[in-house]
Amino acid sequence: MLGWGAALLTLAPSQARPPVLFGGETRCRSVGREAVGVFLPEPAPLPETCPPPSCVLGREVGVDFWRAVLHFLHIPESPFALEALIHWQRVMDSPYCWNPLITTRQVLGWKCPSWNAAQHYANPLMGILATVETLEQPTYAAILRMLHQEAFETGRLERAVSFWTTGYFQRCDKACRDIVMGWNRLWQAHGISELCPPLTCVPGYAVGPEFYAQVLEEADIPVTQFAIRALWVWAQKEKTGACWNPLATIWEVPGRSCDYNRVGVKNYMSEADGVHATARTLRLERFDALRRFLTMEAWDEEELPRAVGIFVLGSPHGCYMNPYCEDLFARWRVLWEHRDVLDFHPLNPPQTFVPVP
């Protein structure tokens, strides 16, 4: 007897397909661009209990499930497409029967909703049909284009996944970002094309002192141990994962940057792009107080908080009673007071801030 996956996959698109049989009833479902009938090797009445007794949790469905989904969507079965769907399944971690992506769609008259409207399905065919019919909605066109390897549209994918997981287009939460970033990595790992952020991304919190030295040089600020450590201390406050962007700037490098978050903080395609963007930001006139601080010319009690407020929060008043700024300035003040006796090697920065005695 053929298994579920084999029964589904032995039917070529051009072959005539026998109808689906459920409990003596004949049903032919229209999936995609043609009517698709699938033979179930062991037709049986629909279960009377919910969840059904013969339940395979969504997180546990196998690769044959995804091969059937791609078959019904008329998407060529490729290693990328299969891995992209399996990655989605892993992030969703679904506890619902035959429902790996936690869809709420009802199929074949079966209703078995959970507390959040996600369905338990009676058998794999129901789960496959529900997944396919949901993906075919126009809202998820970007996902289909990605699975076809036609285009990787990060913004549209985030909106599609956000709507799938939350019901809102603009709520791409951690799970949503994990899904899209995983697809990004798979797309590049399979050599389809280079994307932003790149596979070689170094998160901002992990860039080395050489990065800050290059920034200072390009910004026409003397490269000193004081200035490198001041930027490093600032980056530890930001702790951003944006690629080669330790100070979380929003400076755009055309064709070489993309949004890291909804605020507009950028990922950069290379270290050189991040250095250039950070230096160009520091060279802006509004950050003159920052440059004078980094060059050890002046500690401006009034203008420095205004400059940091604009840089971090977009407002000259952003640092008013702000714990982030208060802690940053306290650390900078220690550096400033000991700027002539710093015992700090720029190629070996400390892992935690230790005030210099």
Residue 126 and residue 46 share a domain: yes
* 318 in any annotated domain: yes
The pLDDT of residue 178 is 94
* 347 in any annotated domain: no
User: Above 50 in pLDDT, residue 30?
Assistant: no
CA-to-CA distance for 61 and 123, rounded, in angstroms? 11
Q: What is the mean pLDDT of residues 75-95?
A: 97
Q: What is the 3-state secondary structure (H, E, C) of 248-259?
A: CCCCCCCCCEEE
* 150 in any annotated domain: no
| 124 dihedral zone (left: phi>0; alpha: psi -120 to 50; beta) | alpha
3-state secondary structure (DSSP) of residue 268: strand
Per mean pLDDT, which range of 6-20, 182-196, 312-326 is the poorest?
6-20
The pLDDT of residue 49 is 79
User: Above 90 in pLDDT, residue 208?
Assistant: yes
| DSSP 8-state code for residue 29 | E
Residue 223 and residue 130 share a domain: no
* 99 in any annotated domain: yes
Amino acid identity of residue 73, one-letter, is L
Q: What is the mean pLDDT of residues 196-219?
A: 95
The pLDDT of residue 135 is 97
Q: What is the mean pLDDT of residues 214-222?
A: 96
| 221 dihedral zone (left: phi>0; alpha: psi -120 to 50; beta) | beta
Token pair, residue 191, equals 């050599």
The pLDDT of residue 72 is 95
The residue range of the domain holding 41 is: 4-136
Q: How confident is the model at residue 236 (pLDDT cuts 50, 70, 90)?
A: very high
Main-chain phi, psi angles of 158, to 5 degrees:
-65, -40
CA-to-CA distance for 19 and 14, rounded, in angstroms? 15
End-to-end CA distance of the chain: 78
Residue where a domain terminates, one of 136, 151, 171? 136
Token pair, residue 298, equals 């002046």
Per mean pLDDT, which range of 1-5, 18-22, 176-180 is the poorest?
18-22
* 74 in any annotated domain: yes
230 and 254 Cβ atoms separated by less than 8 Å: no
The pLDDT of residue 110 is 79
For 108-135, give one letter per residue: b (16+ CB within 10 A) or e: bebebebeeebbbbbbbbbbbbbbbbbb
Whole-model pTM? 0.70
Total number of domains constituting the chain:
2
- Residues 6 or more apart whose Cβ sits within 8 Å of residue 23: 43, 44, 45, 46
* 142 in any annotated domain: no
Average pLDDT value over all residues in the chain: 84
Token pair, residue 312, equals 């971090």
Residue 252 and residue 129 share a domain: no
The pLDDT of residue 96 is 95
For 87-102, give one letter per residue: b (16+ CB within 10 A) or e: bbbebbebbbbbbbbb
* 195 in any annotated domain: no
Q: Which tens digits make up the pLDDT trace of 110-155?
A: 788 888 889 999 889 999 999 999 999 999 999 999 999 999 998 8
| DSSP 8-state code for residue 110 | B
222 and 216 Cβ atoms separated by less than 8 Å: yes
CA-to-CA distance for 208 and 67, rounded, in angstroms? 44
Per mean pLDDT, which range of 21-35, 71-85, 285-299, 329-343 is the poorest?
21-35
5 and 65 Cβ atoms separated by less than 8 Å: yes
Q: What is the mean pLDDT of residues 38-58?
A: 70
CA-to-CA distance for 60 and 94, rounded, in angstroms? 8
Residue 212 and residue 106 share a domain: no
More confident residue, 13 or 257: 257
Residue 325 and residue 240 share a domain: yes
